[in-house]
Structure 1
Amino acid sequence: MADIKFEIETELGTISESAKGWTKELNLISWNGKEAKYDLRDWAPNHEKMGKGVTLSLDELKQLKELLNGLEI
């Protein structure tokens, strides 16, 4: 499996933390040297491991925000 390179450009916030110390975070990340995208995933402490996640462009993030704002929660 090929190495995946990433650079967390901006840590935007933590949504939750598990009992094992993993955190669900929203960050702006550059994957393999490409333009940074918004990324929501679980991270081990110190970002040494990661879980599966969702990566969104700015337009997709704006659409998600619009959808969430429309929910009655």
Structure 2
Amino acid sequence: MADKFSFEIIETIGILSENAKGWRKELNLVSWNERPPKFDLRDWDSQHEKMGKGITLTNEEFNELKKLFKEM
């Protein structure tokens, strides 16, 4: 059985896409289990009650990713 966890979306940075069922792929700043917020990229339902698998990035990781995109 999975442990309970908590989350708070601190800031919605942007919505990348939305599917026919209303789920949106979003980039947000999210605090997981009352920890400092991280950049978070994943699918969310319209009420932000259910979520898909995603990735979280620290500020440093996010800055490195931005550098990689600029080099493309």
TM-score, length-normalised on structure 1?
Answer: 0.94
| Paired-residue identity, % | 52
**Structure 2, unaligned runs of 5 or more:** none
RMSD over aligned Cα atoms: 0.6
SS at match of 2:26: strand
State the partner residue of 1:44.
45
> After superposition, where does 1:1-73 map in structure 2 within 5 Å?
1-71=2-72
SS in structure 2 of the partner of residue 41 of structure 1: strand
Q: State the Cα distance separating 1:19 from its structure 2 match.
A: 1.0
In the alignment, structure 1 segments of 5+ residues that lack a partner are none
Q: Distance in 2 between matches of 1:66 and 1:41?
A: 21
- Separation in 2, partners of 1:2, 1:17: 29
**What is the CA–CA distance in structure 2 between the aligned matches of 1:10 and 1:22, rounded to whole Å?**
18
